Amino acid sequence: MIADYIKPIELRQVISRYCDPTDALVNDFEAVARLVCVKKEEALVRQGELCTDFIINRCGLFRVSCVTDGKEDTLLFGTSGDVFTSLHSYYAGEPAVFSLVAVQDSEAWMISYDDMRRLEADHPVMVKWMRDLLVEQMFGFEKRYIYNNNKSAEERLLNFMRVCSGNLRRPSVKHISSIAPLKYIAQYLKITQSTLSRLRNKLAKTEW
């Protein structure tokens, strides 16, 4: 069900994915998290601007995008519980190289870098939380490379439809295509919209 990918998630659930939080940690986390409503096509992080927050998707669908020489690319889709920030901003104080844009009306928590650092200082288990979060995200980028590099358009589509690895919880095209415009899915797969439509029709009887 599509709802499985966009239903609201609680902060305790997000923290518990990467550590065993105490009630004190959850309370402190909730105290600094700002819940925001995000309209469709609104950007919470903009490429070329300094990012100052960690963002946790409470419900809805986001995409990570990048524009190079006037051409837009969609790198990732983020669903309920996914965490995003600009590592360029967090680590080096540099402008973000990616944007985070809502594909549909969504809700997200925003936690400032200063508050995250205070949480790490007050709750050492947050260091593990941060480490495991970043390891998972790097794992996801490696998987994206493995499943897309030197693959045909049909292979990339099939991989995207089939792969759902552990906590990555990657939604299939079947679910995302009910929400996201095909142009964003095509950008992610690095194919044209016409090629995506043709492949969908070809695979409709067995895969969709």
Q: Give per-residue pLDDT as tens, 83-118.
A: 999 999 999 999 999 999 999 999 999 999 999 999
Domain residue extents for the chain: 3-207
pLDDT > 90? residue 175:
no
- CA-nearest of 20, 95, 19, 104 to 57 is 104
3-207 CATH choice from 2.60.120.10, 3.40.50.2300, 3.30.390.30, 3.40.640.10:
2.60.120.10
CA dist., res. 125 & res. 20, Å (int): 8
pTM of the full structure: 0.85
